Amino acid sequence: MDITRDLLPTWRDWIVENLQRGCAPDSLIEAMRESDFDAPHASALVHEFRQRLESGEISKRHGVQSLVPARTAFEYGVPRLPGGNTIETEDGGVCVAMRIARPVVAVLNGVLSAAECDALINLSRARLERSTIVDPGTGEHGVIKERTSEGTFFMPAENELVSALDRRIAQIMNCPLENGEGLQILHYGVGAQYTPHFDYFPPDQTGSTVHLARGGQRVSTLIIYLNEVTQGGGTIFPELNLTVVPKKGSAVYFEYLNDRGQVDPMTLHGGAPVIQGEKWIATKWMRVGRFE
């Protein structure tokens, strides 16, 4: 029996694409397990696609020729994130606690004060809604079980605090202010998580077109922790075996679009389940052009 017969095309493409770009099969199986595949099934699927890719059979049977030619590897240029141990902003500076060069990831301390974190949480509480994701096929927003947080967006310059923070964040991320999407606040209760994903819009997928029309591809992400989580809730980077532990006012930064328009799959990341306590974050996504 063909074990791939009942698999959704989005999962099929996801497995094929990730195998082609050299992801470890175990990290795919792990991500699938977190999306409620049972382990033997996930493992069988990944190994089946691996064999089909190796034998060259996959393009004939699944019609995914566009995925089959080897992608040119992501080329790292000069990081967009400023160098140095601190990053200056108009109202102070933030400390770089840790940097990785490939992919470009950094942990930053002192991005927000404790009072600013509390103010953002208080402003958001009353307007939280269940978070959605963009369906790669249709481009529509939908609620899925892989993302169980609640959130809200602030419009640019919606209030004085948001204006000041947006300016500071743009300086840290070294991008024009107007390229930023509205600051997003997320809240995760016990058990809530966001399984590993990319923040960029998958270049090959039709659903991306509508999003790319507004400001182009995403360039970089800043996730700011607004509180401390008693247990769990770290930001995980499965390709790097890295977990960033939430610390109030600190942030994790990563960038994934180069000058050639390539996106960096090593920035796969997610929010691990909150085991005890709750988790509040503010996320900023920068676009390559003006976001309107």
Ligand X SMILES: O=C(O)CCC(=O)C(=O)O
User: Cβ distance 48 to 42 under 8 Å?
Assistant: no
Out of 52, 269, 284, 287, point to the residue binding ligand X (CB under 6 A): 269
Q: Does 194 bind ligand X (CB under 6 A)?
A: yes
Report which residue type is found at 176: P
- Least CB distance from residue 72 to ligand X, whole Å? 26
Out of 13, 17, 166, 199, point to the residue binding ligand X (CB under 6 A): 199
Out of 166, 199, 239, 255, point to the residue binding Fe ion (CB under 5 A): 199
DSSP 119-183: HHHHHHHTT-EE--EE-TTT--EE--TTB--EEEEPPTTSSHHHHHHHHHHHHHHTS-GGGBPPP
With vertex at residue 144, the alpha carbon angle to CA 143 and CA 147, rounded to the nearest 5 degrees, is 100
> Tokens in use for 1?
């029996």
Q: Does 239 bind Fe ion (CB under 5 A)?
A: no
Out of 27, 174, 205, 283, point to the residue binding ligand X (CB under 6 A): 283
Q: Does 281 bind ligand X (CB under 6 A)?
A: yes
Q: Does 264 bind Fe ion (CB under 5 A)?
A: no
For ligand X, the binding residues in 220-239 under the rule CB under 6 A are 223, 235
Neighbouring C-alpha atoms within 13 Å toward the C-beta of 209: 5
Cα distance between residue 51 and residue 72, in whole Å: 22
Q: Which does 281 bind (CB under 5 to 8 A by kind): Fe ion, ligand X, none?
A: ligand X
Q: Does 94 bind ligand X (CB under 6 A)?
A: no
Q: Does 271 bind ligand X (CB under 6 A)?
A: yes
| C-beta closer to ligand X: residue 20 or 217 | 217
